Amino acid sequence: MTAQALIQVLASGLLMGLIYALIAVGLSLIFGLMDVVNFAHGEFLMIAMYATFGLVLWTTLDPIVVAPLVVGLMFCVGAFVYVAVVRYAMRTKANAGMVQIFSTFGLAILIQGAAQYFFTPDYRSIKTSWLGGHTLDLAGIFLPWPQIYGGLISIAAFAALSLISRTDFGKALEATREDQGAVALVGIDRNKVFAIGWGLGAALVGLAGTVLAIFYYIHPQVGATFGTIAYVTVALGGFGSVFGALVAGIIVGLVEAITALILPPTMKAVGIFALYLAVVFFRPSGLFGKL
Amino acid sequence: MNRRELLLAASALPLVGLTGAASRAFAQGAPEVVIGVLYAMSGPSAQVGIDARHAFETAAEIINGSFDFDMPTAKAPGLAGLGGAKVRLVYADHQADPQKGRAEAERLITQDKVAALIGCYQSAVSSTVSAVAERYGVPFLCADSSSPSLQRKKLKYFFRPAAQDEMFSAAMFDFFDTQKKKGKKIDSVGLFYEDTIFGVDSSNVQRKLANDRGYKIAADIKYKSNSPSLSAEVQQLKSADPDVLMPSTYTTDAILLVKTMAELGYKPKNLVAQASGFSEQVTYDAVGDKLVGAISRASFSLDLAARRPFIGKVNEMYKARSSRDLNDNSSRELMGLIILADAIDRAKATDGAKIRDALAATDFPGTRTIMPWSRVHFNEEGQNPDASPVLLQYVGGKFVTIFPDDVAIAAPIWPMNG
């Protein structure tokens, strides 16, 4: 293995890591806000990929152009899921955690089934786009443009998130997270904040979906492939930590690439989870987790 | 209606459906033979299962109807040996999971009282299903799983009319030998295979053949199926740059592999695939432009229709259902059910042991199938030793037969990338 090949693998790992971070951050955000793990997170990604695919097919515009539409749509999907499902799951007094897990898990199965019924299990992919299939050649290091675009979008999204946290809305989110009862006293509508939080979380994973749709195949179970990675990313970075999701996403991308290089590639998931277990040993709440 | 009532009403619906189905089954007086069909109808490989369903329904139409095709069970309506009994198919979804396959096979045998089982595409699932079938003494026709290890267990109730990966891989290396004799350069091969029985068995056979016939193994990469990224794996292939890349992958990974190769600027000198993902139309719909000149082993070629016109008609019947042409997988599934029905017809019974004996006694020429096989019969392991495979090359947006010479309609383009 030459130095060039090593740099290639690390660069690919870094770009995928940034995309993993973007997929995971919505999950982390929702958890941080209300302590609910959304098990339908991968399915949100799948819906966004199908939406991108459908819009591209229908409008013949580029995936990058339809991305804002998809993100807006996913915001509505996220807010709707909170209002229609999660709000009820949170009302229970006993075993609240279990009820929330199973309601979002059930939702995931429902969405998968519906997708298979309406879209058939065929594998779709967007054939032509501005970036698809184009590669940047940096002295023998090949960086695919869709992944570069994904990495940049991810960085931009994290920058935007850090700005939001300074606005009034960001402060309302933070306050609701810290004391749901107290915010009601100062006139903040808890349900509204939660609905917007879910919308924001879904919009972020939706953004990741518009990126993935450019270079990955789309089918009803595609969420499962990335869902597992999103969960370990959030756990590694610390539940609820936005910055943790970014760092953990990059770590996961790099560890996956390096493990595939030095061990048989079938072991690459093992590398990620071994690292996670090592982190649990020293910091059970994840790298940047509060608690 | 409030929310609670709505939920109650919704939960009652499936029950209504169930009782309806049960009374239908009892109401039918006509004799019928029930065959259990086991495929992944949901999950990442559901697309293969849905295509398989169309293939089996086409086969059932041929068996139950009357068609002027020179194939067993085609001419007479239903199964003549059982008084014109119709074949009825019961589907089960194993989701590509060997344990679900085991449970579904048991359910089909004990509850649906199927006369025989057919399946399962994923070799890992066929492995557990064949064990259940053996225990209950119910014949299992393995239509489209190609792992050689399936037949090594010396099961009495296991039958595979199509070729397995030893036969397929031998054909590939025979082809390499011929090309070498013609002065083409083939020194090294690169093995790239997924981590279940299919990929592992396929690579074992290919590794042995390469060593026996003096080809260097430049890369030997086992990867995790359904990976989110194959960049590191492709980088290793690119560094090794074998003369022939030999992937054994299912559809999702085949698409991702080809996309990643293009992204990382790796053009394999030649690609000879162990079919599977590389014989699926969806793969070529997605990345066909990057696969010009790719070669895949196959059990089927539509080129044969020029010699046996009924193949074209069968293909039309299948296409009307699935809007696709028959391929390597769907052709084997369709033919598998016809071979099974022929045995039940000759057994004149739905008893497992009698069908098993009739299957073991199967012997008819390959010209009475839609396949390029020379003969249909089974050895003591339940394998058809004369299921001659072919190699197809993807040229000009379609597959052409290039090997062996007696069925080839075009000369191979080698190396594929000019």
A44-70 pLDDT, tens digit each: 999 999 999 999 999 999 999 999 999
CB atoms within 10 A of CB A119: 16
CA distances from A97 to A88, A94, A104 (A): 13, 9, 11
Cβ within 8 Å of residue A150, ≥6 positions away? A15, A18, A19, A22, A208, A211, A212, A214
Considering only CA atoms, which of B202, B103, B141, B153 is closest in space to residue B362?
A: B141
B271 pLDDT band (50/70/90 cuts)? very high
pLDDT band at B60 (very low <50, low <70, confident <90, very high): very high
- Cα B109 to Cα A272, B36, B312: the distances in Å are 42, 8, 35
Whether B29 shows a pLDDT value over 70: the answer reads: no
CA distances from A181 to A35, A92, A178 (A): 15, 17, 9
Q: A-chain residues within 8 Å CB-CB of B195?
A: 266
Give the strands of the sheet with B188-194, arranged side by side.
Answer: B216-223, B188-194, B244-248
Q: Do A9 and B232 touch (CB under 8 A)?
A: yes
Computed on alpha carbons and rounded to an integer, the radius of gyration of chain A in Å comes to 19
C-alpha distance from residue A161 to each of A42, A155, A164, A256, B337 (Å): 21, 10, 5, 26, 58
Give chain B's mean pLDDT: 91
Residue A183 to residues A165, A168, A179, A191, A222: CA-CA distances in angstroms? Answer: 17, 13, 6, 11, 39
Q: Measured between beta carbons, which residues in chain A are less than 8 angstroms from residue B43?
A: 221
Q: Which of residues 34-53 of A touch B (CB under 8 A)?
A: none
Instruction: Report the pLDDT averaged over residues A119-148.
Output: 89
Q: Are A271 and A258 in contact (CB under 8 A)?
A: yes
pLDDT, residue A168, reads 87
For range B24-47, the mean pLDDT: 78
What pLDDT is recorded for position A189?
Answer: 87
CA A259 to chain CA centroid, nearest Å: 22
CA angle B281, B285, B286 (to 5 degrees): 120
Residues 6+ positions from B105 with CB-CB distance below 8 Å = B36, B38, B92, B117, B128, B129, B132, B133
Of B129 and B16, the one with more pLDDT:
B129
Q: Rounded to an integer, what distance in angstroms lies between the CA atom of residue B390 and that of residue B265?
A: 30
Q: At what angle do helices A222-237 and A268-282 cross, to 10 degrees?
A: 30
Confidence of residue A121 (pLDDT cuts 50, 70, 90): confident
pLDDT tens-digit series, residues B322-365:
999 999 999 999 999 999 999 999 999 999 999 999 999 999 99
- CB contacts of A221 in chain B (<8 Å) are 43-44, 46
CB B351 within 8 A of CB B97: no
Q: How far is A202 from chain B (nearest CA, A)?
A: 20
Give the residue from B328, B359, B365 showing the smallest Cα distance to B341. B359
Is-contact B224 A266, C-beta < 8 A? Answer: yes
Residue A1: pLDDT band with limits 50, 70, 90: low
User: Residue A3, Cβ neighbours under 10 Å: how many?
Assistant: 7
| Nearest CB neighbour to B228, from listed A121, A135, A226 | A226
The more confidently predicted of residues A122 and B90 is B90
pLDDT tens digits, residue range A134-171? 899 888 889 999 999 999 999 999 999 999 888 988 88
Is residue B1 pLDDT above 60, yes or no? Answer: no
Residue B367 has pLDDT above 60, yes or no: yes
For residue B281, how far is the Cα from the chain centroid? 14
Choose from A6, A12, A259, A267 for mutation: most chain B CBs within 10 A: A12
For chain B, say whether A213 makes contact (Cβ under 8 Å).
no
pLDDT at A290 over 80: no
Q: What is the SS3 assignment for B350? A: coil
Name beta bridge partners: B38. B92, B119
Q: Which two tokens stand for residue B380?
A: 């003591």
Residue A164, min C-alpha distance to chain B (Å)? 30
- Token representation of residue B388: 């001659």
pLDDT digits (tens, 9 = 90+) for B152-188: 988 999 999 999 999 999 999 999 999 999 999 999 9
**CA separation for the pair A100, A171 (Å, rounded):** 25
pLDDT class of B8 with cuts at 50, 70, 90: low
Confirm or reject contact between A5 and chain B (CB < 8 A): yes
Q: Decide if pLDDT at B23 tops 50.
A: no
Q: Do B232 and A256 touch (CB under 8 A)?
A: yes
User: Considering only alpha carbons, which residue of chain B is nearest residue A264?
Assistant: B222
Task: Note whether A123 contacts B47, CB cutoff 8 Å.
Answer: yes
Q: Which two tokens stand for residue B283?
A: 């793969």
pLDDT at A113 over 80: yes
Contact call for A217 and B286, based on CB within 8 A:
yes
Residue type, B176: F
CB pairs under 8 A between A and B: 119
Mean per-residue pLDDT for A191-217?
95
Average pLDDT for B128-141: 97
Say if the Cβ atoms of B265 and A142 lie within 8 Å: yes
Across the interface, of B43, B224, B282, the residue whose CB is closest to A266 is B224
pLDDT band at B26 (very low <50, low <70, confident <90, very high): very low
Cβ proximity of A234 and A248 under 8 Å? yes
Best residue in A219, A252, A255 for a mutation probing chain B (most B CBs within 10 Å): A219
Q: Which residue has the tokens 């090997």?
A: B403
Query: What residues contact residue B185 under an 8 Å CB cut-off, 6+ apart?
Result: B243
Q: Is the pLDDT of residue B39 over 60?
A: yes
Question: What is the DSSP secondary-structure string of A227-247?
Answer: HHHHHHHHHHH-TT-HHHHHH
In the prediction, which pLDDT does B418 show?
Answer: 61
pLDDT at B7: 54
